[in-house]
Amino acid sequence: MELKSQGMPETNTQDILNLEQTDRMFHTLFSFIKQLVDISEHDQALCRKFFKPVFVPKDTLLESEGTVHQFHNFIVSGFMRNFFRDEDDKEMTTDINGGPRFFTSYHSFIHQTPSNENLHCITDCTLLRINRKDNEIITLTGDTSQQYVGKILEHYLESSRQRIIELNTLTAKERYLKLLDTHPGILQYVPINHIASFLGINPGSLSRIRQEISA
């Protein structure tokens, strides 16, 4: 499959997303943020000013390996995955998510170093994006941005810890069932191949597992 590479999303954005849609998108963002901190009106205004709504068609490579990733992405809707290539040039999917959630190659974005990761929109996606300079402005002038960054890093660290424990203790079948449980609808939108890679299971093996389950 040929992936579209990304053109200039801002240009076609205004055509497609109207004000009401944009409002809903920011509402989704703020609901997400409020799970961790109490975001002030002032900071909400900052976000509205600097985060840009974007519609991205399916099978677009939003950011790609070898480049410095330009944006911090918040998935409002749609499924994305994060993958890199191993020594044998095989794609390894390290993350899959259908939002709402931030989905970014954080290290590359913050430190402005080339990434080995690719951000791939599997389905049509609506995103809120912010570039690095604007993100820095929010970080420096927001009331609670620093606090939020700390909390969200902490949160992802805890998720990682959990995932490590699961990889260490659960069988392939259990990991698969757990994924279906926590990501309802994922089967409908994400190719099994990517799910297998994400779970560290061989595609053939996963196929057998699916057969066992349905039997």
Residue 204: which of its own copies, DNA, none does it interact with, CB under 5 to 8 A by kind?
A: DNA
Told to check if 163 binds its own copies by CB under 8 A, we report: yes
Q: Which stretch binds DNA (CB under 7 A): 40-48, 73-81, 155-163, 203-211?
A: 203-211
Footprint of its own copies on 133-152 (CB under 8 A): 146, 149-150
Residue 192: which of its own copies, DNA, none does it interact with, CB under 5 to 8 A by kind?
A: DNA
Footprint of its own copies on 63-122 (CB under 8 A): 86, 92, 94, 106-107, 110
Told to check if 160 binds its own copies by CB under 8 A, we report: yes
Among 24, 48, 132, 173, binds DNA (CB under 7 A): 173
Told to check if 177 binds its own copies by CB under 8 A, we report: no
Contact present, 184 and 177 (Cβ < 8 Å): no
The least CB distance from residue 181 to DNA, in Å, is: 17
Nearer to DNA, 26 or 57 (CB): 57
Nearer to its own copies, 49 or 163 (CB): 163
Read off φ and ψ for residue 128, nearest 5 degrees.
Answer: -115, 125
DSSP string spanning the chain?
-PPEEP--HHHHHHHH--HHHHHHHHHHHHHHHHTTS---HHHHHHHHHH-EEEEE-SSEEEE-TTSB--EEEEEEES-EEEEEE-TT--EEEEEEE-SSEE---HHHHHHT-B-S-EEEESS-EEEEEEEHHHHHHHHHH-SSHHHHHHHHHHHHHHHHHHHHHHHHHS-HHHHHHHHHHHSTTHHHHS-HHHHHHHHT--HHHHHHHHHHHH-
Told to check if 161 binds its own copies by CB under 8 A, we report: yes
Contact present, 103 and 110 (Cβ < 8 Å): no
Told to check if 123 binds DNA by CB under 7 A, we report: no
Nearer to DNA, 39 or 196 (CB): 196
Nearer to DNA, 154 or 174 (CB): 174
Structure-token match 């992802």, residue found: 156
Cα gap 116→95, rounded to integer Å: 14
Q: Which chain residues interact with DNA by CB under 7 A?
A: 1-2, 171-173, 191-193, 200-211
Q: Which chain residues interact with its own copies by CB under 8 A?
A: 86, 92, 94, 106-107, 110, 146, 149-150, 153-154, 156-158, 160-161, 163-165, 167-169, 199-200
